[in-house]
Amino acid sequence: MLRVYDHRFLAMDGAQRGRLMSGTRQVLGEDGLNDAARAVLPVRYRLRAFCIQHGLQDELERLIREELDGHEVGAVVVGGRVYAVYPYLRGVPRQDADVTSEVGLRHRLDEASWQGKRVRVRGVAAIERIEARETKVELILRERRSRVEHRFPADASASGGFEVEADMALPGPGRWDARVAASALGVTREARFGTVRADRLDTESQRRALTSNLASTIYFTKGGYLAVVVRNQKPAPLRAKLRRRLLR
């Protein structure tokens, strides 16, 4: 019912638009959307229903045009919930403007390399729609089987950039998937990391010996995600050690 309110609605003449809105208003009823419908509909359909219910044809047309043009909608955070802001729409109930479940994490990997025995990661991580003076960013290494996590706080900038170094001797042996988390204004978003990356980022595996018994490799999974594997390595045989010493 509400899906037709897109480019097809704008292609109609004024009389056709009015008749369609009138018919939809009758289906919605005086109370508009119920709580069950609100719970499953994305904000764009909830706002269409609001405009139709209150006869806001000009506002509805503007809403649709801005969506088709890719216009970015601002948002405010209240009590950990995120609400879309449409200056030309007044009296919208909070539950109709709530986009908390639709807000994701914008991220990009710019560097993954060894700095001594630490993995250095640079990139971007910011919560969509939210503008904040301070965003806290963490690199999360999660062991694939045990699900054990190690978190490394990053140095983050106001523009969303971050940099962090992780000592891979701390997590120890395992296959560690990289994730990134960002928190701002009481809202936190987390995502697996690495599929979105800088154009010239080197994706070749990078191996490094951590100790005489541990070795680690930075690599990308088949799905394109960043990961680090840490393995126990067998100590070199005594003969090989003696040979290396003699050849020094």
pLDDT digit string, tens, across residues 118-162:
999 999 999 999 988 899 999 999 999 999 999 999 999 878 899
Domain-located, residue 243: no
Concatenating the DSSP letter of every residue in 210-226 gives: -SSSEEEEEEE-TTS-E
Q: Is the pLDDT at 236 greater than 60, yes or no?
A: no
Domain-located, residue 137: yes
Mean pLDDT of the chain: 91
Q: Is the pLDDT at 111 greater than 80, yes or no?
A: yes
pLDDT digit string, tens, across residues 41-59:
999 999 999 999 999 999 9
| CB-CB contact of 213 with 232 (8 Å) | yes
Question: CATH code at 171?
Answer: 2.60.40.2440
Task: Clarify whether residues 214 and 122 are in a common domain.
Answer: yes
Alpha-carbon separation of residue 194 from 122, 143, 154, 214 (angstroms): 11, 16, 16, 24
Domain-located, residue 77: no
The parent domain of residue 227 ranges over: 105-232
DSSP β-bridge partners for residue 209: 215
Instruction: To the nearest 10°, report the CA torsion of 28, 31, 37, 38.
Output: 130
Band of the pLDDT at 237, cuts 50, 70, 90?
low
Task: Clarify whether residues 55 and 143 are in a common domain.
Answer: no
Taking the C-alpha atoms of residue 6 and residue 150, their distance in angstroms, rounded to an integer, is 46
